[in-house]
Amino acid sequence: MRKVGVIGLGHVGSTVAYTLVTKGIADELVLIDTNEAKCTAEFYDLLDSLGRLDTYTKLSMNDYKALQDADVVITAFGDIKALADGGNRFLEYSFNCQQAKQVGTALKEAGFHGVLINISNPCDVITGLLQHYTGLSRQQVFGTGTFLDTARMQRAVSMSLDQNPHNIAGYVLGEHGESQFAAWSTITVQGEPITEIAKDQHLELSELDKAARGGGWLVFNGKKYTCYAIATCAAKLLQAVFSDAKLACPASVYLEDYGCYVGYPAVIGKNGVEYVHRLELTEEEKKLLDKSALMIAQKTKEGLL
């Protein structure tokens, strides 16, 4: 039995829940939200889909005790109204720090001992707070982090070069936020370094980096939330845990060097973060990572006060 909990049923959490049910990824799904009416609505909307699906998912709602034996919990709580002006995921910081404490404590009291995947923003900081309050190991807790931002980089590069995004490999590193950066030294297109392609085709890598960083706000400004891409990322990470896929990808993982969670390549399997893959970065990329990580570490420390 693959049992999953989704905590927070806004646009992202409800899309994650819908994906897990309609794709048959979860055998049992527990929905939790402080808004009882919203939770009930999502619960019954999903229940009404079961009679037309090829798979079946057992559903329950607003019961932390039911998460005691859950394999994975996905946290997607947030304050979307705080992002009305856009531009900075830290607008949710104060609200989500409080939520992380409440949710983390509730999970600990429920006896949850599985893997926790965090989506809530600012992702890296909230992932660190959830790890602290749940008491789970750093291996068991990780965030979507720059897994999504790397997909946005792949989209930007693929559009520029008329390529399938699957042909673009490499990483966006650092904060899932404004201090993230595309580590161009790691990025290839059909195996060829993009730095060489950029010289040949006169590409402005700085513009592609900007397009990747601004991808989320491009979507947000049009519909005032994002949901499809991040839900897809969360579902893929969840499947990697269930199937022990040893999936190599960027995620928000704990780095000892910085003492906090940072978007960085890791291998995801049945235990969560199986190990972190160390990169050989350029001096400039190392400086950018240092700057981003130090900011995350400071904000995480403040969030625990």
Query: Which residues are known to be catalytic?
Result: 176
Half-sphere exposure of 161 (CA within 13 A, CB side): 26
Is 118 exposed, middle or buried, given 0-12, 13-18 or 19+ CB atoms closer than 10 A?
A: buried
Does the annotation place 9 within a ligand binding site?
Answer: yes
80 is an annotated ligand-binding site residue:
no
Distance separating alpha carbons of residues 240 and 121, to the nearest angstrom: 22
Determine if residue 13 is labeled as part of a ligand binding site.
yes
Answer yes or no: is 167 a known binding residue. no
3-state secondary structure of 85: coil
**Is there a binding annotation on residue 119?**
yes
- In sequence order, the β-bridge partners of residue 171 are 183
Is-contact 146 172, C-beta < 8 A?
yes
Structure-block tokens of residue 159: 């559009």
Give CA–CA dist 86/80, Å, rounded. Answer: 10
170 is in an annotated binding site: no
Q: How many whole angstroms separate alpha carbon 178 and alpha carbon 88?
A: 7
Residue 197 annotated as lining a ligand binding site: no
Q: How far is CA 180 from CA 32, 80, 169, in A?
A: 31, 21, 17
Q: Is 30 annotated as a binding residue?
A: no
- C-alpha to C-alpha distances, 179 to 3, 123, 145, 159, 301, nearest whole angstrom: 35, 13, 12, 23, 18
Distance separating alpha carbons of residues 303 and 300, to the nearest angstrom: 5
Local structure of residue 111 (DSSP, 8 states): T
Q: For the packed helices 93-110 and 123-134, what is the interaxial angle rounded to 10 degrees?
A: 30
Report whether 11 belongs to an annotated binding site.
yes
- 120 assigned binding-site residue: yes
Q: Is 121 annotated as a binding residue?
A: yes
Binding residues for NAD(+) are 8-13, 33, 96, 119-121
- Binding residue numbers: 8-13, 33, 96, 119-121
